[in-house]
Amino acid sequence: MKTALAANRDFLAGLLFLAIGAGGFAVALSYPYGSVQQMGPGFFPRSLGVILAGFGVVTMIRGLRSGERVQGEWGWFPLAALSASMVAFGWLMGHVGLVPSVAVLTMTSAYAGREFRWGEALLLAVAMSLIAVAIFIWGLGLPYELFAFDFGR
């Protein structure tokens, strides 16, 4: 069975493991290895890196032999929209306060869904802001400003 490498499930998984293992090993080279009697901080990560890279190579080979494909479509759009909205939230929290941050997070993440409606999303944003303020500020007493305008930093 022929499967393009970019759609080969286990080849991709193995490649990812190989990359993480090799990357971890490379970074851990700068930590002292120590000896078996006196393990240094580099001992454990370097060993794990080698093991993980090994598993990665085995998985890649098995992928080439089985040719299993990745099931279904990749959801790149919802993935990008959700992570972007979380990053936006994190950044906004330090600059405009809790309420606008939560509202933006709600709106942008709702946009990632299939059935996005402006009215509903706006209503949800208002409701979520209220709930977040009630639970996290009034309930748990977290020290965040509700609204702020602070772009000096």
**121 to 150, contacts with other proteins by CB under 8 A?**
121, 124, 128, 131-132, 135-136, 140-143
- Member of 26, 44, 118, 149 binding other proteins (CB under 8 A): 44
Distance CA 145, CA 94 (A): 9
Query: 60 near 91, Cβ under 8 Å?
Result: no
Does 85 contact other proteins by CB under 8 A?
yes
Distance between CA atoms of residues 114 and 62, nearest Å? 36
Residue 2 CA to residue 66 CA, distance in Å, equals: 9
CA angle 114, 135, 94 (to 5 degrees): 75
User: Could you tell me the smallest distance in angstroms from the CB atom of residue 50 to other proteins?
Assistant: 10
Secondary structure class of 75 (helix, strand, coil)? coil
Q: Is 106 in the site for other proteins (CB under 8 A)?
A: yes
HSE of 58, CA atoms in CB hemisphere, 13 A: 7
49 binds other proteins (CB under 8 A): yes
**What span, in angstroms and rounded, lies between the C-alpha atoms of 128 and 133?**
8
| Contact status: 19 vs other proteins (CB under 8 A) | no
Output 5 or 39, the one with its CB closest to other proteins.
39
Give Cβ neighbours of residue 12 (< 8 Å, ≥ 6 apart). 5, 6, 63, 70
The CB-of-24 to other proteins minimum distance in angstroms stands at 5
**In angstroms, what is the minimal distance from the CB of 129 to other proteins?**
9
Single residue of 3, 22, 97, 112 touching other proteins by CB under 8 A: 112
Q: Is 87 a residue that touches other proteins (CB under 8 A)?
A: yes
CB of 18 to other proteins, least distance (A): 10
What residues from 24 to 43 belong to the interface with other proteins (CB under 8 A)? Answer: 24, 27-28, 31-32, 35-41, 43
